[in-house]
Structure 1
């Protein structure tokens, strides 16, 4: 049985979606960020980065959200969460890298400006700059969704579960994902996915904003 070390609406959310999508037995182990449990010696013994999530599969341990999602999807190919066609898989990899290295990175800078300067006087300037950068990133994703039901073609992939997680995080920025036409349609479609609904119910994440 899989064990996912998680915290509600943290980076563990996408792997939680995937666990529901592959319909495999799993258990959740709360890592209480409010008590800095992710920095405890016990947790650091399985995840030296001190970040959430971590997946344990028997004696195999894996950290990093996207890596966990890929591992689960490849171990359960029947769920078809990674394209089989070589060109579609290349596009899948392209968007996976863009989401994790660009959108997620820009969001982290927005949420934690103090990590990027020692001058508290420019925190607000960093946040304002990130508003523009995030708008530009979301516009690119919105354009990709112009002719696609999902981010890569016409079926849900790991990319979609990661994107939905990141869009939940971004719902309070100046130009939130729901303010873009294609992303609005896409997110409302994704919110009806059983895996997302089940995981969000467990983590007590409201999907009311995505109701049609």
Structure 2
């Protein structure tokens, strides 16, 4: 059985979606960020980065959200969360890399401006800049989804799990994802996926705004 070390609405959300979508046995282990458990000696032995999530599969330990998602999908190809056709698979990796290395990275700067300057006077400026940068990325995603139900091809994939997680994080932006025409429609549809519904119920994330 897999063990996912998680915290609600954290970067563990995408792997949690994947575990649920694959319908494999797993258990959750809360890493209480309010108590800085992610910095405890016990947790750091599992994950030396001190970040969430971590996946334990018997004696094998893995961190980084995207790596966990891909590992799970490769172990359970019957789940069809990675496209099999070569060009769709290439597009899948393209969008997953964009979501992880660009959108997620820019959101982290928005949420933690203090990590990117030594002057508190710069916090508001960083936040405003990141709002604008993330809006541009959401606009790009909105255009991509203009005629699509899913991020890649005609199937639910890890990219949909990842994008839904990031859009939950971004719901506090001046123009949140739901205010984009195509992205908003897409999120409404994805919110009805059984895995999304089940995980959000477990983690206490309200989906009413997407309906």
2:145 corresponds in structure 1 to 145
How does the TM-score come out when normalised to structure 1? Answer: 0.98
Partner-residue secondary structure (3-state), 1:170: helix
**Cα distance in structure 2, aligned partners of 1:112 and 1:55:** 25
**Cα distance in structure 2, aligned partners of 1:21 and 1:40:** 31
Runs of 4+ aligned structure 1 residues displaced above 4 Å come to none
**Cα distance in structure 1, aligned partners of 2:176 and 2:105:** 16
1:190 corresponds in structure 2 to 190
1:155 corresponds in structure 2 to 155
How does the TM-score come out when normalised to structure 2? Answer: 0.99
**Cα distance in structure 2, aligned partners of 1:52 and 1:58:** 19
1:181 aligns with 2:181: yes
**Cα distance in structure 1, aligned partners of 2:52 and 2:204:** 18
CA displacement at 1:147 relative to structure 2: 1.9
Partner-residue secondary structure (3-state), 1:27: strand
Within-5 A mapping of 1:157-172: 157-172=157-172
CA displacement at 1:74 relative to structure 2: 1.0
**Cα distance in structure 1, aligned partners of 2:60 and 2:163:** 26
1:21-43 deviation per Cα after TM superposition (whole angstroms, max 9, x unaligned): 00000000000000000000000
Q: Which runs of 5+ in 1 are unaligned?
A: none
Q: Which runs of 5+ in 2 are unaligned?
A: none
User: In angstroms, what is the RMSD of aligned CA positions?
Assistant: 0.6
2:85 corresponds in structure 1 to 85
Partner-residue secondary structure (3-state), 1:115: helix
**Cα distance in structure 2, aligned partners of 1:167 and 1:196:** 13
